[in-house]
Amino acid sequence: MTAPPMSYGPPIMSMPEQKHHAEKRLAIAIVLVVLALTGVGGFIFYSTVLNGNGGVLQAAAAATDKSGASNAVDGLQITCTTTSTDTSGLPYSASIYLTFGVSNPSKYQIDSTWTITYDYAAAGVVLTTSQTFHVPAQGVAYPRWQLTMTSGQLSSLGSSSNPSFTVSLDRTFIVHGSYGTYDFTRHDTYNSASGVSSGTSSTGSTGNLPAC
C-alpha cells in the first residue's frame, strides 16, 4: 500500500529573513527621500531662486526702498547644497539633513523662514521641516533642515509601489530697508508625477550645484 503524499504548508520565514526584508524596506525609504531632496528638491530651489532676476542690484538702485527690498528677496542665490543621513536610530527612526548656501548680493539684510513639505500621497506619508535664518547684506548663510522619519513612515515609503510625491516650499521674509522693514512671502510647488512646478517665484534653468 502506497503512503499518501505528504502535504506542505506555506514556508516559514526565519527571523533573520524577516529582519532582512524589514531592513531592505527601510533602506528603500531612505533612498527615496534622499533622491527627492538632492534631485527634485535641488531643482525647486535652483529654478525658483537661483536665476530669479539678472538685474537685481540695478533695479534696487532705481526703485523705491520697498521695491528694492522685494527685488532683494527674488535675487537670493543658492550657491551649494549638501545632503546627509543619520541612520543610527534605525529601525525606529532615521533623519536626513539638507544644507543650502544662500547668497544675498543685495544691500538689504534679510531674515527668512523656509518650510519644506514632502507629501507622498500613495504611501500616506507627509514630511515637513522648517528653518529660520539670517542672511547678511552681501553675505552668505548656510541654513540646515532636518527631516526625521518614524519607523511607520519608513515602512510605508519602503513598501509603496508609487514613489511619486508633491513638494511645496513656503518662504517668509523680513527685509530691513532704509525706511523700515518689509514683509514678503513666496510659495512654490512641484509634482514629481507630472514634472510641473508652479508658484510665485521666478523660474530659470536647472543645473548641478556644488557641495557646501
Transcribe the chain into DSSP letters: -PPPPPP--PPPPPHHHHHHHHHHHHHHHHHHHHHIIIIIIHHHHIIIIITS-TTHHHHHHHS-HHHHHHHHHHT-EEEEEEEEEE-TTTTTEEEEEEEEEEEE-SSSEEEEEEEEEEEETTTTEEEEEEEEEEE-TTEEE--EEEEEEEHHHHHHHHH-S----EEEEEEEEEEE-SS-EEEEEEEEEEETTTTEEEESS------PPPP-
pLDDT the model gives residue 113: 96
**Number of domains forming the structure of the chain:** 1
Do the domain assignments include residue 207?
A: no
Do the domain assignments include residue 208?
A: no
pLDDT the model gives residue 7: 46
Do the domain assignments include residue 33?
A: yes
Do the domain assignments include residue 47?
A: yes
Residues of the chain with pLDDT under 50: 6-16, 18-21, 40, 43-44, 47-62, 202-206
pLDDT the model gives residue 38: 57
Model pLDDT for residues 153-178, shown as the tens digit of each residue: 888 888 877 888 888 889 999 999 98
pLDDT the model gives residue 157: 82
pTM of the predicted model as reported, rounded to 2 decimal places: 0.72
pLDDT the model gives residue 143: 95
Do the domain assignments include residue 57?
A: yes
Parent domain of 40: 15-199
Gap between the Cα atoms of 83 and 94, Å rounded: 14
34: domain CATH number?
2.60.40.10
Do the domain assignments include residue 204?
A: no
* C-alpha cell belonging to residue 137: 547684506
Do the domain assignments include residue 118?
A: yes
The label of the residue with cell 520697498 reads 66
pLDDT the model gives residue 34: 62
Do the domain assignments include residue 155?
A: yes
